[in-house]
């Protein structure tokens, strides 16, 4: 009887030991699996990040190489015209690849790389341009993506919209810090004429006739001219039309 009891006790002990060993093995296997999955995910993240960076770099190269963008009128709201900048066919194709990539990955971390502003311009890499047609084509750029700032996109948008609608303007109260930098570049741009007085700026296409340019800038700076504020003439404008005066007030 005692022999049977010892055998049973030994069997139970061995069974428990075996179960504990199997459980420990299962735990270790599960830990190793999680670790392997982590390494695999990490590798995937690195691969995906590299792919995204390549797409963004390709987009920046294509956009900075363009001298002019496609600008399309999409809506009219009374005296407010809304245009969209769609760059070029190649740039648009890269943008669509970036959007498809983000939708496929579905990783918020990757979304934040392209759209750090959050939902404000979610999945929108095509800036919109508002033009106040009743206010000397006063311009506002909307939704300029963070990843495309600092590479001259704003300046090229201004040049492109001038080519399309002949002139644009701005007053200081409307300008953000980014817009101020763009206008500073436009003032020194050789392909357009820019006229400045204090807080007001107007930039005009070089294709416009002299008489029309003169009428527009006189209307735009009507208050300044009446109050004897100095309106600075564009140097290229003066040279082309052989103007000796330094200021619009002197013409």
Q: What is the pLDDT of residues 38-72, one digit of tens each?
A: 334 545 778 888 889 999 999 999 999 999 999 99
Helix (H, G, I), strand (E, B) or coil at 216: helix
184 within 8 A of 196, measured Cβ to Cβ? no
Query: How large is the C-alpha radius of gyration of the chain?
Result: 32
Among 21-25, 83-87, 204-208, the minimum mean pLDDT is found in 21-25
Note the pLDDT of residue 120: 54
Q: How many CB atoms lie within 10 A of CB 52?
A: 19
Q: Point out which residues pair with 73 in neighbouring strands.
A: 83
**CA torsion 75→70→187→165, rounded to 10°?**
-50
Evaluate if residue 33 carries a pLDDT over 80. Answer: no
At residue 152, what are phi and psi to the nearest 5 degrees? 90, 10
Question: What predicted TM-score, i.e. pTM, was given to this entire model?
Answer: 0.79
Evaluate if residue 169 carries a pLDDT over 70. Answer: yes
* Nearest alpha-carbon partner for 124 in 65, 152, 84: 84
**CA torsion 129→132→138→139, rounded to 10°?**
-10
């Amino acid at each position: 009887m005692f022999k049977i009891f010892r055998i049973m006790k030994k069997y139970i002990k061995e069974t428990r030991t075996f179960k504990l060993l199997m459980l420990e093995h299962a735990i270790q296997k599960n830990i190793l699996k999680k670790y392997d999955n982590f390494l695999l995910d990490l590798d995937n993240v690195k691969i995906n990040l590299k792919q995204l960076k390549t797409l963004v770099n390709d987009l920046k190269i294509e956009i900075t190489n363009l001298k002019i963008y496609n600008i399309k009128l999409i809506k009219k709201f009374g005296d407010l015209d809304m245009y969209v900048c769609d760059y070029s066919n190649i740039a648009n194709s890269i943008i669509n690849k970036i959007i498809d990539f983000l939708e496929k990955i579905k990783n918020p971390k990757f979304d934040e790389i392209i759209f750090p502003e959050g939902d404000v311009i979610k999945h929108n890499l095509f800036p919109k341009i508002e033009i106040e047609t009743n206010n000397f084509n006063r311009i506002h750029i909307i939704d300029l993506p963070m990843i495309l700032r600092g590479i001259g996109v704003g300046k090229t948008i201004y040049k492109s919209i001038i080519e399309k609608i002949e002139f644009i303007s701005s007053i200081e109260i409307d300008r953000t810090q980014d817009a101020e930098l763009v206008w500073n570049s436009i003032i020194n741009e050789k392909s357009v004429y820019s006229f400045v007085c204090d807080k007001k700026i107007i930039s005009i296409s070089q294709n416009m006739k002299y008489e029309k340019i003169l009428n527009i800038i006189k209307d735009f700076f009507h208050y300044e001219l009446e109050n004897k504020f100095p309106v600075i003439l564009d140097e290229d404008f003066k040279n082309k039309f052989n103007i000796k005066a330094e200021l619009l007030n002197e013409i």
